Structure 1
Amino acid sequence: MSLDLRPDETRGSYSTSPTVRSTWRAGRAAVLLGLVMLAVGLLIVLITPGGRESRHLDPADTSLAGSKALAQLLRARGVTVDRVDSVEAAVAKAAEGDRLLLITATWTAGDSRLAGLRGDRLIVGNPYLTELAPGVRTLPGGSRERSREPECPLPAATAAGSVFIGGSVFSGPPGSTGCYPAGKGWTLVSYPNAGGTTTLVGSGEFMTNMRLSEDGNAALALNLLGTAKAITWLVEPEQPAVGDLAGPQGRSAYDLMPPGIPWAVGMTAITVLLVALWRGRRLGPVVMERLPVVVRAAETVEGRGRLYRARRARARAADSLRAGTIDRITPRLGLGSGAGRHEVVAALAVRTGQDPQQVGAALYGPAPADDAGLVALAGYLDAIERTVSEH
Structure 2
Amino acid sequence: MSADTDRTDVTTAVAPTVRQRLRSARWVVVALIVIVAVALLTTYLTAPNPGARMDPTSTSADGARALVSLVRDRGVEVVEASDIAAVEAAATPDTLVVVVQTYFLIDEEIMHRLADLPGDRLVVEPISRTREILAPEVKRSGTTDYGGDAPDCDLREATRAGTVQFGIADAYEAAGDVAVTRCYGGALVRYTEDGRNITVVSTADFMTNSELLKEGNAALAMNLVGTNPRMIWYAPQQPEGESGGAASIFDLIPDRVNWIVWQLCLVVVLLAFWRGRRIGPLVAEKLPVVVRASETVEGRGRLYRSTRSRDRAAEALRTAALQRMSPRLGLGPAADPAAVVQSVAERCGQPPQTVAYTLFGPPPADDTHLVNLARELDNIERQVAQS
TM-score by length of 1: 0.48
Higher relative contact order (CA 8 A, sep 6+): 1
* Higher fraction of helix: 2
* TM-score normalised according to structure 2 size: 0.49
Which has the greater radius of gyration?
A: 1
